[in-house]
Amino acid sequence: MRNYLFILIILTTLNFDSFAQGSNLSPLGQFEKDTVMIGEEIQYSLSYRYPMDQKVIFPDSDYNYFPFEFAKKEFFTTQQLDSVTLLDSVVYSLATFELDSVYYLRVPVFILEDGDSLTYYSNTDSVLFKSVVSKIPDPPALKSNTTFEKVDLQFNYIYFLIAVGCIILILIILAVIFGKRAYRSILIYRMKRRYDKFEKEYLKHLEMFSADDSKQLAEHILTIWKGYMEKLDKQPITKFTTKEIATIYQNSDLNHSLKEIDRKLYGNIQSNNMNLLFGNLKDFSLDRLNQKIREAKHG
């Protein structure tokens, strides 16, 4: 309920008349309150008014919100303000662990237009650091004691060095035996986590494409897939053409799907199976991930 009240207050500050004169009004971003403590979550509202013919994407968890870290977000249903104007809003929950007196933040929205994305940044809003320590106590007074106290120094350095040597030897043996196994486990975990993140974003945009099969959105979905494959195979896939990608992977199903997508995007040829083609790309990514995992296990 607090988030709904917060977003309502923010929306009332937007100047609708200025938006009616053009579509280049910057998004409006604002913190819920004026102060924040280290590690405390604070809500940040981002709103944008735009024409109905625009395709707008708000930042997700992948965006760099420095000096803040992303915790979660809450989308609000798109509102139609009049016959030509829409309003989108989202509330981000952020936290910071940086030490500074004032934190500044501005967040963009991305406009899909003519096969490219335009970035519109919001206004810069600020929030003050709130310290939990009101006063640093004075150090305790030290009492001087000059009385001599004799201490017998008895330390067996030979045994100490032998013990240190044994510990180092054991650590080396453990590193040789378990080090490579631990590295493989960490590598596989990271690959799976990266795929889960890719799959979540990919399926979200596929669902959007089912409702609006625009060329811009299709290009964006293809870019998401290429970006994931680029990280997985350490190849500049995002810069390759369909022919170059087919040469690298030598997979007939993948080659067919990419060619069919290109026909839809650049040949103005209608296709009723775009979701199936994009699904084939996702299946290929999963097969490629499993191959990489097998290589890591036996490499």
Structure letter (DSSP) for residue 239: G
Domain limits at 245? 191-298
At 213 the pLDDT is 77
Decide if pLDDT at 17 tops 60: no
106/195 same-domain check: no
110/218 same-domain check: no
pLDDT in tens, 193-235: 999 999 999 999 988 888 877 888 888 999 999 999 999 999 9
pLDDT in tens, 27-52: 999 999 999 999 899 999 999 999 99
- Decide if 52 contacts 85 (C-beta within 8 A): yes
More confident residue, 230 or 147: 230
**Cα–Cα separations (whole angstroms), residue 253 to 195, 232, 246, 279:** 21, 19, 10, 12
More confident residue, 114 or 254: 254
Q: Give the residues across from 104 on adjacent strands.
A: 126
Asked, for residue 173, whether it belongs to a domain, the answer is no
Rounded Cα distance, 30 and 32, in Å: 7
pLDDT in tens, 73-82: 998 998 998 9
Q: Please, which pLDDT band fits residue 26 given cuts at 50, 70 and 90?
A: confident
Domain count of the fold of the chain: 2
pLDDT in tens, 83-117: 899 999 999 999 999 888 999 999 999 998 887 88
Asked, for residue 169, whether it belongs to a domain, the answer is no
Please state the length of the chain: 299
Of the three residues 81, 114, 129, the one that is the final residue of a domain is: 129
At 209 the pLDDT is 85
Asked, for residue 260, whether it belongs to a domain, the answer is yes
At 21 the pLDDT is 38
**Cα–Cα separations (whole angstroms), residue 76 to 19, 48, 58, 120:** 20, 12, 12, 20
What CATH number corresponds to the domain at position 20? 2.60.40
Instruction: State the average pLDDT for the chain.
Output: 84
pLDDT in tens, 127-137: 998 876 656 56
Asked, for residue 245, whether it belongs to a domain, the answer is yes
Q: Please, which pLDDT band fits residue 263 given cuts at 50, 70 and 90?
A: confident
At 184 the pLDDT is 85
Asked, for residue 49, whether it belongs to a domain, the answer is yes
Decide if pLDDT at 23 tops 60: no
At 19 the pLDDT is 40
199/292 same-domain check: yes
